[in-house]
Amino acid sequence: MRKQEPRLQFTDEERSDPALKHSVKKAEKAAKKADAAQVKVPKKTVPVKERTVDPATGKASVRLRFEEVDKKKPPSKLTHAAKDAPVNAVVGAAHREVRESEQDNVGVEAAHKIEEAAETAGRIVQESYYAHKLRPYRKAAQAERRLEKANVDVLTKKAMQENPELYSNPVSRWQQKRAIKKQYAAAKRTGEAAASTVQNVQGTAKAAQKTAEGVEKVGSFVYRHRRGIGIALGFFVLLALMLNSLSSCSILFEGVLSGITSTTYPSEDADMLDAEAAYAAMEQDLQYGLDNYERLHPGYDEYHFDLDEIGHDPYVLISILTAYHGGPWTIEEVQGTLQMLFEKQYILTETVETETRYRTETMIGERPATDPYTGEYLYDEDGWLIWEEYEYEEEVPYTYYICTVELENFNLSHLPIYIMGQDQLEMYAAYISTYGNRPDLFPESQYPGVNMRGDYTDYDIPLEALEDEVFAAMIMEAEKYLGYPYVWGGSSPSTSFDCSGFVSWVINHSGWDVGRLGAQGLLNICTRVSSSNARPGDLIFFQGTYDTTGASHVGIYVGNGMMIHCGDPISYANINSSYWQSHFLAFGRLP
């Protein structure tokens, strides 16, 4: 943040002096505005640990409370995606590798140019959000610059009043004012008080007298011919500005246009809307089948249902189709892809179990007939024993059929990493981060269900670890998003996150400015440390969690074998589990 200007003190005599009072008034007014602007600079929150004891159970717990203090530094530069700021999909190290090979491969070179153009457009959008965050700092800096100008002006007027002979022509006046500015800046850098600053600057005029006399003749010539020289200089400056502006605007326009073009859906609206309608129709058919499952699948004694919610985000679908097909497509060309995506997103499983159960049934048997009065057996006229039928109940075993129906919604936004190559994934990230530059196409979209937080594992970080202010700031930011879903390419709260997008967002809001890096990119900027030397705030990297070279997953180590990371959802996890140990790659310390 810009260093504060000295607040000059003036005497009543200086305030009433006709030659100085206007400049003095202007300097005092500028000082008041600068003080007011400083008040509006945001505060930062510092974690304060509180230990509480439940009187009922006697259980102690530690909670963080955050207090506001003056924030001297502006916020880190935001580099995030989606509505507020698109993703920078490719890290610097990856760019260098691509550049090494693009001379030998025209296809790689073309794809790399499109990718760089998309990043340029993304950074332009990012700057707009960053500018909004920096506004109070810029306002304060602007007020300090105006105060500096007012201070120099009043000091120059005072020097001119005391040494009028040094201001006989425009060149000497310019020379004197320049000398005063330099002395003023030197006094400010050494941290002198306002009164000392005034005294030192007032002495500058005398110190510059010899220089002024040396240029007085030149100044007189320039002054006598000021009109002609002014016209010539003005023409030269105008010509230079026009040529420079044309060149800069052309480059900027080409970069922005190329970036916007490379992140815009290239297919026709009718085809994209038809694809969304076709996918929605498949989902409706699935829902109908589940709603009427017992009628459509009779013959079972009992039905159990464990069903995920059916639904998808249309921007995810269109971005996948566009990246998967590498450009524009028609509805006819993507019918097979739609079916493939549907089958991978929705996994319907029917499991039938059988049990041997018993029920009471009425049976019919035969027995000898007896006289109801005497109880003696009855015989017919031929002497044969008479038999009679009777009913009785008996427990009979039977097979009981239980049908369990499960529907897993794998989440359409998780599929790209399983069906796409690296180039396609980069294209997908660019499309999804900008909504294909078509936010009007599906205005009802709620990409990608961030408001539906999932269940997550919480963890109480040891009190001593939170004594590190930087680590405490990281945790304060990271825990805001516990429960957010995993979304490939996501890198901001508006889109949710993937693993590297989450870590990039957290560290960019905790004092660093690294941009949007992938897992390997984050590893590249870190210094590797051993497991025995790892400390809270270090990053932890894993490999082989999906089919890619190098680091494939990253989290933030919080100590005691725990990390916070973007799994599904964002949660704490134990790194000593067999899964994470089998994929462990390295610990890394941020610069």
Sign for the CA dihedral angle at 448, 453, 459, 462 comes to positive
Are residue 386 and residue 499 in the same domain, yes or no? no
Concatenating the DSSP letter of every residue in 500-568 gives HHHHHHHHHTTT----S--HHHHHHHSEEE-GGG--TT-EEEEE-SSS-SSEEEEEEEEETTEEEEESS
Are residue 402 and residue 495 in the same domain, yes or no? no
- pLDDT higher at 136 or 66: 136
- pLDDT higher at 124 or 175: 175
CA distance 475 to 536: 10
3-state secondary structure of 225: coil
Per-residue model confidence (pLDDT) at position 306: 93
Domain assignment present for residue 404? The answer is yes
Are residue 408 and residue 488 in the same domain, yes or no? no
Are residue 572 and residue 481 in the same domain, yes or no? yes
CA distance 258 to 119: 10
60-64, 228-232, 417-421, 546-550 — which one is most confidently predicted on average? 417-421
Lowest mean pLDDT among 153-162, 227-236, 253-262: 253-262
Are residue 319 and residue 381 in the same domain, yes or no? yes
Last residue of a domain, one of 412, 447, 479: 412
Contact call for residues 278 and 333 (beta carbons, < 8 A): no
Domain assignment present for residue 253? The answer is no
Domain assignment present for residue 505? The answer is yes
Are residue 404 and residue 492 in the same domain, yes or no? no
Are residue 375 and residue 491 in the same domain, yes or no? no
137-160 confidence digits (pLDDT tens):
677 777 777 888 888 887 878 877
3-state secondary structure of 92: helix
Alpha helices in 104-207 (DSSP H): 106-162, 170-189, 194-207
Contact call for residues 556 and 539 (beta carbons, < 8 A): yes
- CB proximity list for 280: less than 8 A, separation 6 or greater: none
- Say if residue 447 is exposed, middle or buried (CB neighbours under 10 Å; 0-12, 13-18, 19+): buried
Parent domain of 282 = 269-412
Domain assignment present for residue 88? The answer is no
Whole-model pTM: value is 0.43
Are residue 278 and residue 399 in the same domain, yes or no? yes
- pLDDT higher at 167 or 463: 463
Domain assignment present for residue 291? The answer is yes
Contact call for residues 153 and 8 (beta carbons, < 8 A): no
The pair phi, psi for residue 129, each rounded to 5°, is -70, -40
Per-residue model confidence (pLDDT) at position 245: 54
Secondary structure letter of residue 3 according to DSSP: P
The CATH number that applies at residue 570 is 3.90.1720.10
- Rounded to whole angstroms, what are the CA distances from 149 to 26, 183, 591? 10, 14, 38
CA distance 130 to 509: 12
Per-residue model confidence (pLDDT) at position 504: 94
The torsion of the CA quartet 323, 326, 332, 337, rounded to 10 degrees, works out to: -50
Is pLDDT at 274 greater than 50 in this prediction?
yes
Domain assignment present for residue 316? The answer is yes
Kindly state the greatest CA–CA separation across the chain. 164
Give the bridge partners for 305, in sequence order: 405
User: What is the overall mean pLDDT for the chain?
Assistant: 76
The pair phi, psi for residue 363, each rounded to 5°, is -110, 160
Domain assignment present for residue 407? The answer is yes
Contact call for residues 567 and 540 (beta carbons, < 8 A): no
Tokens of 97: 């590798």
Q: Cα 366 from chain centroid? A: 83
> Tokens 């230990």 label which residue?
51
Are residue 276 and residue 385 in the same domain, yes or no? yes
3-state secondary structure of 495: coil
387-436 confidence digits (pLDDT tens):
999 999 999 999 999 999 999 998 888 888 889 887 888 888 888 877 88
Are residue 397 and residue 469 in the same domain, yes or no? no
Are residue 348 and residue 283 in the same domain, yes or no? yes
Per-residue model confidence (pLDDT) at position 496: 81
3-state secondary structure of 586: strand
Concatenating the DSSP letter of every residue in 361-403 gives EEEEEEEE-B-TTT--B-B-TTSPBPEEEEEEEEEEEEEEEEE
Last residue of a domain, one of 412, 428, 451: 412
Are residue 402 and residue 480 in the same domain, yes or no? no
Tokens of 250: 């052309």
Question: How many folded domains does the chain comprise?
Answer: 2
CA distance 313 to 491: 17
CA distance 117 to 259: 4
Element holding 476 (H helix, E strand): helix 469-478
